[in-house]
Amino acid sequence: MYFQDLILTLQSYWAARGCVIQQPYDVEKGAGTFNPATFLRSLGPEPFSVAYVEPCRRPADGRYGENPNRWGAYYQFQVLLKPSPKDVLELYLGSLKAVGIDPEVHDIRFVEDNWEAPSQGAWGLGWEVWIDGMEITQFTYFQQVGGIPLRPVAAEITYGLERICMYLQNVEAFVDLRWNEQYSYADIHLQAEVEFSHYNFDEADTELLFKHFEDFEREGTRLLAKGLVIPGYDCCMKASHCFNVLDARGAISVTERQKYILRVRKMARTAAESHVEKRKALGFPLLRDEARRIEMLGGGDAQ
Amino acid sequence: MKLLFEIGTEELPAGEIDTAVETLARHLIRACADARLGHGEVQTFATPRRLAVRIHDIAAVGEASEETALGPAVKAAFDAEGRPTKAAEGFARGKGIAVEELLRVVTSKGEYIGAVVREEGKPAAEVITAALQSVFTAFAWKRSMRWGWGTEQFARPIHTIIALLDGELLPVSFAGVEAGRETFGHRFLSSGTIRFDHAADDYAEKLRAAHVIASVDERKSAIRAGVDAALRSAGGIPIVDEGLIDEVVHLVEWPVPMIGTFDPKYTEIPREVLTTSMRTNQRYFAAETADGKLANLFCFVSNMIVRDPAVVVAGNGRVLVARLEDARFFFKEDRKRTLDSRRVDLERVLYMDKLGSVADRAKRIEAVAGHLATLLFSDEPAVAAHATRAAQLCKADLVSGVVYQFPELQGTIGRAYAAADGEAAEVAEAIEAHYQPKGANDAPPASPVAICVSLADKLDTLVGCFALGLIPSGSADPYALRRSAIGILRTALDRNLRFDLRALIAVVAAGLPGDLGARPNLVAEVTEFILDRLRNLLGQESPTDIVAAVVAVAENDLPSLRARAVALNAMRMNADFDPLAAAVRRVVNILKKADEEDLAAGRTLASEGEVSPAYFEKNCEGSLREAVCNTLPSLDSAVAALRFDEVANLLVGLKPGIDRFFDEVMVNADDPMVRQNRLALLGLIRTAFMRFADISRIQTQGA
C-alpha cells in the first residue's frame, strides 16, 4: 500500500463512519492535537467527529534525514470521536483491517499509556497500540483540555502514518517508503527535512524568534481578550512553534524552558475558556439532543 | 450459595491489576463480615480485560446480633421519684422499645440505662448486592477516567458486569452497564459472548475455551515455563526476571512465548544498555551464553496464536534492532569523549533553584565525600583520593546520550565509561554504587569509597532541600527525602559507621551556596528528621520506648543501637528492672529540676560538680560513690566492646546502693553544700546510666 493510499483508505474508512474529513490546519504545529479541529472541538458538549491528516513539525527531532524513523517533520492521521463511542476500539481495529493489518496475523496489544501535553493543559488515559512490538498508534480518552475537564469525553486516535506504512511496505526507513508508484517519501520530503534540520539547529535567528514569541503572545492575549478566539488561538500555535525552534536551537535553558511552556499553556487555557463561553453564548448549536442541550446550557436559559 | 462477579473492561493498566483484584476481594470479604454472613473460599481471577471473584459456600442469611446500647446515666434517666425522664423516654423510643424494657448497666464510670438492640441477619442477596454496588468506587486507581457522556470513573471503560448468586442475577449496575450473564473471551481468538447461567458454572474452563487463562498464577506459571523452555531450546541460559513476569502476565490473556535473535554485533554495547532496552522498552526476556555473556537472543510473550509466528517474530526483531541501533549510536557517540570531559556540561544543567547547577552539586559532594573519607577511613589513605575523584565523576553520565535515552542506567553507564577511561576500579565502582540503597530491598554501598560518595550525595540532597524549605509533610515527599535519610541510616547501621550526625550536617550546611546554610534551626531540623526515620526503622524491630531510650543517648553511635536495644529488652525482663527504672527516673527528674534552677540562676550545674566526701553525712553516700566509680571503667570498656549485656548487669549491680541512698537520705538537705554534693552524686549515677540508655524513658508496670 502506497503512502498516499494509506491516507486515502483511512479517510474513506472514517468518512463512512460519520467523521467530518477536514484538511490539515495551515499553521505549524508539533502534533495533530494542536489543530483547532481537535483542541477546540474537544471542548464543550457539542458532539463532533473528525478525521484529518496532519503534518507535524518537531524541530528538535530533525536528524538531516539520516535517522531511519526520526524526522523533524512527519505526518499523523488524527481521528477525534466525541463523545467516545462504546465500540471505539472495535472501530479502530476495523481501520487496521481496512489498511491491511489483519489482527489474526499479528500480535496487537493495548499497552497502558497516559498522555499529557503540558503546553496545552491537557491529559488523558489510554494506550500505545503495539503491532508485533512496534508502537503504531496513540489512543487517548481525553479527560482535560486547556485546563477544562471534558464532558462528554472524546476519544483521540493518532496513527503514526510512516511507521504503519513502513510495516505495510516492509521497509526499514522513512526514505524508502513509496509515496505512489513513481515517487518515494524521500523524493517528496527529503530535501525539506535536510534543509530544515540546518535551519532549526544552526541557522534560525534566535533573536528574531524570541521577538516573534513575545509578539505572538501579546497579540494572542489581546485578541483573546476581545473574544476573537480562533485568531487568538492561532497566535498561541505560532508562539508554540517559535518555542519549539528555539528549543531545538539550544537557545532556551532548562529553567527557562518550563517558563515558556507555562506561557504557552496560559494562552491555550484562555483560548479554551473563551471558546467554551462563546459556544455557550451561541447556544451550543451542534448539540442536537435538545434535552441535553438545555441541560448543558445550565437549564432553561437557552436562547 | 455461590457468587460469581466479573467486571469486563478495556485493557487495564498492567501495574494496577493485582492491587485491584485484591481490593475487590477484600471489599466483599469485609462486607460479609460486617453483615455476619458466613462464606467459604474466595477465589480471584484477573486478566488485562477483567477482574473477577468467586465466593463459595455463602450462607443464605447473615447471623442475627444482639448488642447492649448504652443510654444516659441513671441519675439523668430517672427523677427523684424514680420516674423516667424525657432523656430516658427519648432513648427508649430511639431504640424502639418501651421504657419498662430499659436495663441498668454498671460500668467503670457509673451506672447507665441501656437497651438490648437485636439486629436480624440480612439475606445474602441483599448484602452482596449492596457490596457489589459499592465496589466500583472502592478501587484506588493511580488515575481514573470517564468515558462518553458518563460521569462515573474507572481505570478504563467497563463493558460488561456479571453478578450471579447461584442462578439469580443481582441488580447491580455502574456507568450505564447493567449486570448480566455474559462476558467476552479473547479479543482476537474468540468471537461472540460467553454465558453463565449459574455461579457454579465453571468460570475458568469456559474462559479457557475462549482462549483466556483467567487465573493469574496459572498464566504466570505458563509464562515462566514457556520463556524458560523457549530460551533453552535456542541454546541460551535464561536470566530469571520475576519482576518482568509480574508485568507481562497482565499484558496477555493467552500467553504464547516466542523467540528471536539479533545481530551479535550489538553485544559490544554494555550489557546493561542491551537488557534495559529489551526489558523496559519492549518487555523482552534475555539469556546468557554458557560463558556468562549476554546471548543474542530475545524472548517475548505474545497474546496470539498466529498462523505464521515468523511474521510476529520478524516484526519484534525489527523494533529491537531499531532500538539497539539507537543505543549503539548513543554509545559510540558517548565514547568519543571521556566521562571527565562531560563535567563541564553539568554546569548547564540546573539542579534546583538557588542550589545551582548539577556541577555545583558535584563540587559540594566532592568536598563532603573527602571530609567523610578522612573522618571514617583515616587508616586507609587511598580512600580520600578515590572518593574525591568518584564524587567529581558521579553525576557526569547524566549528560551522556545513553542516560538521555535510558534514564534508569544512571550510575551503571557511568561505571562502564569510567572503567573504559582507565579510572581506578574503586572509583568506577563507586560511581554506580553511590545511588545505593535504591530501595528497601537494595543493599547499602559496601566499599569505603562508595560509602563516602553515597553519604555525601544523600546529605547534600537532604540538607539542600531543607535549606530551601522543601520539607516533607504528610505523604508528600516529592524529593524522596525520607528515602535519602533511610539510605544514610542503613549505610551507617549495616556498615558500622560512627560519626557525629549533627557535626556532619553542619559541615554540609556550611557548604551550601550563599547564606542558604544559615537558615535558622537547619541543622536541628535535618537531624531530627533523620532521627525520626531512625526511630521508625528501629521501631520495626524493638518497642518504641526502648528505641527512644537508646536513640536518646547514642545518636552518634548508630551501629551500637541494635545491640543496645536487644540488651535493654533483655534487661527489662529482669525482676529488678522496674524499680531500678523508677529509681533512675527519680534521679533524672530531680536533676532536671535542679539543673533548670541552676541555669535560671546562672550558677554552674550542681549535677556536674565534684563529689566531695567532706560533705557526706551517711555511709550510704560514700559507698554509692565508691560503687559507681568502681563500675565506670568496666562500664566504659564493655560499651566500647559493644557488650551491652555486661553493661546492663553492671548497672543493675548499682541498684542496692541507689535504693539505700534514697531510703536513708534526703537530697534536699538544709545545708546547701550537702545538697549540692548529693546532686553531684546523682549526676554521677546519671552519667553511668546514660552510657547505655536513658532507661527513665522505659514504661514500667505501676509507674
pLDDT value at position A251? 82
Q: Which of B153, B405, B419, B175 is nearest to B281 (CA)?
A: B405
Q: How far is B316 from chain A (nearest CA, A)?
A: 5
Contact (CB<8Å) B149/A114: no
Confidence of residue B310 (pLDDT cuts 50, 70, 90): very high
User: Are A224 and A186 members of one domain?
Assistant: no
Q: How far is B300 from chain A (nearest CA, A)?
A: 9
- Give the C-alpha separation, A32 to A55, whole Å: 8
Which residues, 6+ apart, have CB-to-CB distance to B192 below 8 Å?
A: B185
Confidence of residue B490 (pLDDT cuts 50, 70, 90): very high
Confidence of residue B701 (pLDDT cuts 50, 70, 90): low
Instruction: Name which of A106, A112, A153 is nearest B312 (Cβ-Cβ).
Output: A106
Would A181 be classed as within a structural domain?
Answer: yes
Phi and psi of B594, rounded to 5°? Answer: -65, -45
| Tally: H helices and E strands in chain B | 25, 18
pLDDT value at position A217? 97
Q: Which residues of B touch A (CB under 8 A)?
A: 10-15, 48, 143-151, 155-157, 159, 187-188, 251, 282, 300, 302-304, 306-308, 311-312, 314-316, 318-320, 322, 325, 348-350, 353
Query: Taking a C-beta distance cutoff of 8 angstroms, is the pair B351, B360 a contact?
Result: yes
Rounded mean pLDDT of B56-70?
92
pLDDT value at position A300? 47
Contact (CB<8Å) B316/A109: no
User: How far apart are the two ends of chain B, measured CA to CA in Å?
Assistant: 55
Is the per-residue pLDDT at B107 higher than 90?
A: no
pLDDT value at position A299? 59
* Chain A residues closer than 8 Å to B350 by CB: 253-255
User: Are A78 and A94 members of one domain?
Assistant: yes
A213, exposed or middle or buried, with CB in 10 Å at 0-12, 13-18, 19+? buried
User: Are A195 and A211 members of one domain?
Assistant: no
Contact (CB<8Å) B314/A132: yes
- Give the C-alpha separation, B636 to B630, whole Å: 11
User: Are A196 and A210 members of one domain?
Assistant: no
User: Are A174 and A34 members of one domain?
Assistant: yes
SS (H, E, C) A164-220: HHHHHHCCCCHHHCECCCCCEHHHHHHHHHHHHHHHHHHHCCHHHHHHHHHHHHHHH
Task: Give residue-wise pLDDT tens across range B546-603.
Answer: 999 999 999 999 999 999 999 999 999 888 899 999 999 999 999 999 999 999 998 8
Exposure on the CB side of residue B550, measured as CA atoms within 13 A? 26
User: Are A241 and A176 members of one domain?
Assistant: no
Would A19 be classed as within a structural domain?
Answer: yes
Rounded mean pLDDT of B650-655?
94
Percent of chain B with pLDDT over 70: 100
Asked whether the bond before B84 is cis by omega within 30 degrees of 0, the reply is no
Is the per-residue pLDDT at B248 higher than 60?
A: yes
Instruction: Name which of B144, B145, B316 is nearest A133 (Cβ-Cβ).
Output: B316
Rounded mean pLDDT of B34-43?
96
Residue A256's closest chain B neighbor by CA?
B350
Instruction: Name which of B251, B308, B353 is nearest A111 (Cβ-Cβ).
Output: B251
Contact (CB<8Å) B188/A172: no
Which residues, 6+ apart, have CB-to-CB distance to B318 below 8 Å?
A: A134, A172
- Give the C-alpha separation, A203 to B482, whole Å: 47
Task: Give residue-wise pLDDT tens across range A40-66.
Answer: 999 999 999 999 999 999 998 888 988
Exposure on the CB side of residue B560, measured as CA atoms within 13 A? 25
Instruction: Name which of B15, B149, B307 is nearest A152 (Cβ-Cβ).
Output: B149
Residue B49's closest chain A neighbor by CA?
A110
Is the per-residue pLDDT at B115 higher than 60?
A: yes
* Chain A residues closer than 8 Å to B312 by CB: 106-107, 132
Q: Which of residues 36-65 of A touch B (CB under 8 A)?
A: none
CA Rg, chain B, in Å?
35
Is the per-residue pLDDT at A214 higher than 60?
A: yes
Candidates A128, A132, A254: best to mutate against B (most CBs of B within 10 A) is A132
* Chain B residues closer than 8 Å to A108 by CB: 187-188, 303-304
Residue B315's closest chain A neighbor by CA?
A132
Contact (CB<8Å) B322/A85: no
Rounded mean pLDDT of B331-336?
90
- Give the C-alpha separation, A206 to A249, whole Å: 8
Rounded mean pLDDT of B329-333?
86
More confident residue, A249 or A125: A125
User: Are A47 and A104 members of one domain?
Assistant: yes
Contact (CB<8Å) A106/B15: no
Contact (CB<8Å) B188/A254: no
Q: Is A234 left (phi over 0), alpha (psi -120 to 50) or beta?
A: alpha
Confidence of residue B703 (pLDDT cuts 50, 70, 90): very low
Residue A44's closest chain B neighbor by CA?
B149
CA Rg, chain A, in Å?
20
Rounded mean pLDDT of B597-626?
91
Least confident of B269-283, B508-522, B539-553, B579-593: B269-283
Rounded mean pLDDT of B665-690?
92
Is the per-residue pLDDT at A302 higher than 50?
A: no
Looking up residue A284, the CATH number of its domain turns out to be 1.20.58.180
Contact (CB<8Å) A153/B146: yes
Looking up residue A68, the CATH number of its domain turns out to be 3.30.930.10
Mean pLDDT, chain B, whole residue set: 93
Task: Supply the range of the domain harboring residue A108.
Answer: 3-201
pLDDT value at position B595? 92
Domain tally, chain A: 2
Measuring CA to CA, how many Å separate B380 from each of B239, B392, B441? 38, 20, 29
- Give the C-alpha separation, B489 to B482, whole Å: 11
Least confident of A140-144, A290-294, B79-83, B107-111: B107-111
Query: Taking a C-beta distance cutoff of 8 angstroms, is the pair B363, B457 a contact?
Result: no
Instruction: Name which of B12, B149, B159 is nearest A83 (Cβ-Cβ).
Output: B149
Please, what is the angle between helix B619-640 and helix B644-652, to 10°?
Answer: 180
* Chain A residues closer than 8 Å to B304 by CB: 106-108
Is the per-residue pLDDT at B385 higher than 90?
A: yes
Is the per-residue pLDDT at B475 higher than 90?
A: no
Contact (CB<8Å) B157/A105: no
Q: How far is A197 from chain B (nearest CA, A)?
A: 19
Contact (CB<8Å) B325/A68: yes
Confidence of residue A303 (pLDDT cuts 50, 70, 90): very low
Contact (CB<8Å) A127/B11: yes
Is the per-residue pLDDT at A254 higher than 70?
A: no
User: Are A193 and A211 members of one domain?
Assistant: no
Contact (CB<8Å) A254/B314: no
Which residues, 6+ apart, have CB-to-CB distance to B306 below 8 Å?
A: A104, A105, A106, A107, B312
User: Are A130 and A252 members of one domain?
Assistant: no
* Chain B residues closer than 8 Å to A84 by CB: 147-148, 157
Hey, what CATH topology would domain B347-540 get? Hypothetical protein af1432 (1.10.3210)
Task: Give residue-wise pLDDT tens across range B132-185.
Answer: 999 999 999 999 999 999 999 999 999 999 999 999 999 999 999 999 999 999
Residue burial B523-533, b: 16+ Cβ < 10 Å; e: rest: bebbbebbbeb
Contact (CB<8Å) B350/A255: yes
Rounded mean pLDDT of A191-211?
94
Query: Taking a C-beta distance cutoff of 8 angstroms, is the pair A167, A106 a contact?
Result: no
Task: Tell whether A255 lies on the interface with B, counting CB pairs under 8 A.
Answer: yes
Of A201, A220, A237, the domain-final residue: A201
Confidence of residue B702 (pLDDT cuts 50, 70, 90): low
- Cα B332 to chain center, whole Å? 40
* Chain B residues closer than 8 Å to A255 by CB: 350, 353
- Give the C-alpha separation, B647 to B638, whole Å: 6
Of A186, A201, A216, the domain-final residue: A201
Contact (CB<8Å) A110/B10: yes
Please, what is the angle between helix B501-510 and helix B522-539, to 10°?
Answer: 140
- Give the C-alpha separation, B442 to B412, whole Å: 15
One-letter amino acid at B222 equals A
Contact (CB<8Å) A125/B316: no
* Chain A residues closer than 8 Å to B10 by CB: 89, 110
User: Are A264 and A231 members of one domain?
Assistant: yes
Q: Where are the domains of chain B?
A: 3-61+123-209, 65-119, 218-334, 347-540, 565-697
Rounded mean pLDDT of B207-227?
97
β-strand partners of B548: none
- For domain B565-697, the question of CATH label 1.20.120 is answered with no
Element housing B489 (H / E): helix B481-494
Confidence of residue A301 (pLDDT cuts 50, 70, 90): very low
Is the per-residue pLDDT at A111 higher than 50?
A: yes
User: Are A149 and A272 members of one domain?
Assistant: no
